[in-house]
Every structure is written in structure tokens, then in C-alpha cells.
Structure 1
């Protein structure tokens, strides 16, 4: 019953937000780098921090005892990202809040006490990088919602059937938020986009869950629950470096962008293919007892080869 009520609250919350966004002109205007052609409400991803607030309403004592540091980190990164959606902030301000949020995340996951101090900077770089990867990949309808939904379902399965690393509700609430968001975003003409608040918010939550799982099992293979995003972003950055482009400027070189913009493939099909690809990886990953290095090779050789082949073919076809 709790989850039904929570879902209703989330639906009402996002509809109220739509009215606010419409009144105050919080919109995404298409430009030459966009994969969409219509003005669309921005910031629908506010549903993810709202989901944490709803979680607090039903589990306040538990949140105060166990999840307060995560909540502060989530709300901080979502707040600064939402402001950045409305008006561009300096990179120093964004980075400062991101670093504070990551510190709170690492404290929440007991990384500081379970890992030697020399490993801490590695976690900082990986988490900041993964958050930005989430943001880079949020470019077409359904991508963020579908990919996050598959990853969260995989984490829920692991938590229920393999090893318990957190409360089920801590995974179910972002799943509910993803479903509500997808109802309005997984459409040919999306009602809203996630915005930075959405990609950073759900990215932060997913990373926290994966970090909890790694700290519990001391098995780093679970990083690969985000391997499709990771592979795409790393290979695209390498490509842009080789082309001597500024990697910090917006672009349209991601494979999903080429399919959506040049090939004119439906956003929903492209997003679904990415989600299903990660699901295939997750099924293999969860059931594999192989050494981490071998798992990485068995994932990245076929998917990386397919990625490079498709990228080369599209670039040749459209003279990019």
C-alpha cells in the first residue's frame, strides 16, 4: 500500500511541477546540437529528489538514522543542478557542490572506513566521472529513464536474491520515480526532459547503491552495471581527443546521437536498445564467477567492437 500511495504522490508532484515550469518558462529550446525539434518542459527529473522526500515521509526514523548523509548529498546536487538548468552557473560552484555531495555519498557508504585513504581519490574521480557520464548520455527521450530503470531492477534482484546490501525500499523508490518519469518522457513527443537535476539526481542514487554493493561484497565487478554508459563515454572522449576537440564543449558525436539525428531512428528504439544491452550485460555479470579482468574483456570486446563498427559505418555514410 505504501508504494501505491507513493506513486500517486509522485504523479501529483510532477504534474504540479509541470504547471510551475510552464508558468515560469522553464523550458528546453532546441538548438543545432539538440536531438529534438520542439520546445519541451525541462527539469522533469525533479521527481528523483522528490522520491527521496516521499521515502522520508514513510520511513522518517530510518532515514534520520541511516540515510541522512545520502539525502543531504542528493538534495545538494539536485538543487545546484536545478539552478543550473534555469541559469548557467560557474563551473567552480557546480564542482564545489558536486565534491561536497560525493563526500557525503562516500561517508554514507562507509567507503572512508572500509577503504585505505589512498583509494579515496580514485573513488572521487570515478564517481564524478560517472555522474558526468549520466549527464552526457541524457540526450534523447527515454534514455535516462530506461537505462536507470534496468540498472535499478538489476540492483533490486541482487538485493533480494543474491546478497542484501540495503533496504528494498531504498531501491524501490527510485524505480517508482523512474516509472513516473518514463510515463511523461518515454514518448515520441516527450512531455518533459530530465534536465541536469534528473540525470545528476538518479545518477547519484544509482552510484550510491552500486557503491553500497561494492562495499558489502568487496567485488568491483558491479561497477560494470553501468558499463554501456561507461564504454560509450570513454570511447567518445578518446575520439574527440584524437580529433583535437574540446571535450568539455557540447557535441553530437555519441553513437545514440548519430542514430537519432543523422539516421533518424526513433528515440524510443535507441533508448530501448541501450537499456536492453545493459540488461544483457547485467544478466551475464550477476551470474558470472569469472575473474574481473576476464569479465571486462568478455563485455567490452563484443560491445566495444559493435560500437566502433557502427560508429565508423555511420560516420562514413554521413561524411562526419
Structure 2
């Protein structure tokens, strides 16, 4: 199998990547008759935007049990009620998950382990773009780094042994898809020259809403580069999926100023994919793609190389540094032991 690590780094300009993503790539919908009957899925951030649309598409494939993992239970229940009206036979639950809190992430994983007899799919969709620098008091980290990377990787690692253990014995591998972004390919990654790397994200002088977001997503490429060595595709297929730029989502909800809001709206209206098409990238990663996608970055419904920086000698050094720093940061949750247990 040829995965993202095995491909040559792309030398295509990001402008061409963006044009192809937005205007030329064609969705790959699940084949007629595809069924998720009897299966259980978790969707984080599933009360709005692409998470909500992806959850609807999974339910449309006869998913039996859906867990909407959300920060606001009130908003989650409102979304779940809409889904229940469309799919009354599905069991749709709303569980609390605050991705800015390590405690909440750990509590959620414990609940999954104790309360679910089966889990087949986890879509880690929750993410943010911050337009001002903000530190999470409980962790001391910048919020974009915390939500998009540190807490997401913690949740991924905590869910891996549960997904492995609670998939049907002798059945297909479980699925763990993490939402990524094509903008990782254009990330300037100003923190790369700092040592340690992750601590540099907590420096207000390096913060910009676009570069911090892009780099936070790039870190997941680096983590997956190493993670795949610990997880067998026979147990859990792990991949990253890019939905491209989509209109009518909540990702840029914190944009301020009438001019900026209008600009974002117009840009989305003229170039953005619909949420339905964007979310289909996640469903494709979960339903259409098989073991060949394990450890891969999926863009425009195809396996794509990681960001070119990862293939350089410098990038390899920084990738390993990020891996070690992340394991050290998450050591309180026993992530090293969990990963070693997956490898056994």
C-alpha cells in the first residue's frame, strides 16, 4: 500500500491546490446500498457546521447509534432533536465534551469505555479559529493549540484501545478520522525554529489567526507520521481528512467587524463548497476508504502527500521533536503506555 508518507512531496503551488479543491475535484459518495446498520459512531462538534452535516450523512447510511460530543448540551440537544425528526429509528445521544479541558477529554473517554458496548467510528471534528490570542487557564496553552492539536491528539490516543476492543470480533477495523485542512500545505509554521516547539505557540508575539490555525493543523500531520507505527490497520484505520473551504459553517464565527464578516461571507459564497460536499470528505474517509488510507492525509477524496516540510531533513527533526514533546505533555494520561499497548 502506498500511503502519504510514501508519496513524493507535492510541488504544486497552493493556489493551484485551492483551485482544484474548490472547483475541479468531484465528490465520491458512498456506493448505493452502503449500510452502517448496527454500528455506533462518535462525532465531536456535531451540533453545527460540518460536524452536523457529517452526522446527518452517517445517519442517512442507517447508522444505528450516534454520540454527539459537544461543549454545550443545550445546543447539542437542539441539533439532536432535528436529527431525531429525520431519523426516528436511530439512537442519538448528546454527551458533553469540552476540548479546551484535559479533564473533560479524559472523562469523555472513560464514559465511552464504560457505557458503550460497541464503537465503530470516531470522527474528531471539533476545532476553532481564534482571532485574538487567548490562553486556556487550566492548561496554560494558547487555545487554538489546545483545541485543534493537544486535546484532539489526547482524545485520539485515549479512544484507540477502546475502538480496538469494542469493535465486533472478527469484523472490519474500527475507524478514527481527524479533521484536517488543506491550509497545512501552505503553513509557514513560524514556531518550527523554536526549541521547544509547542511552547512557542504560547508566545503572543508569534500568534496570528491564520498561521496559528494552519500550524495547529500541521502538527497533526507530524503526530500521525509517528502514530501510524503504533496502530495496526487491522485494528483501527486512522486518517486525516480535509473538507476544503466551505461556506455556511461556524468555523469563522469569531470574525469581528462588518467588513471582515462581509468579506468572509462573499468569499464563501463565491468559492466555498456546500457543507454537504465538505462533510462528504469525512464520510468518504470513514466509509469508502480502506486500509490503504491508514496513516494518510486525504484531500479531494484522494490520498495526498503530507505538507512538503515533513519530508525535508529539517522537517524530520522537528516532526520527531513535536512527537516527543506531545508525549511528554500528555504523560499525565499515560499516553506512552497506551500506544505501546496498541503496538503489542
TM-score by length of 2: 0.28
Higher strand share: 2
Higher helix share: 1
TM-score by length of 1: 0.29
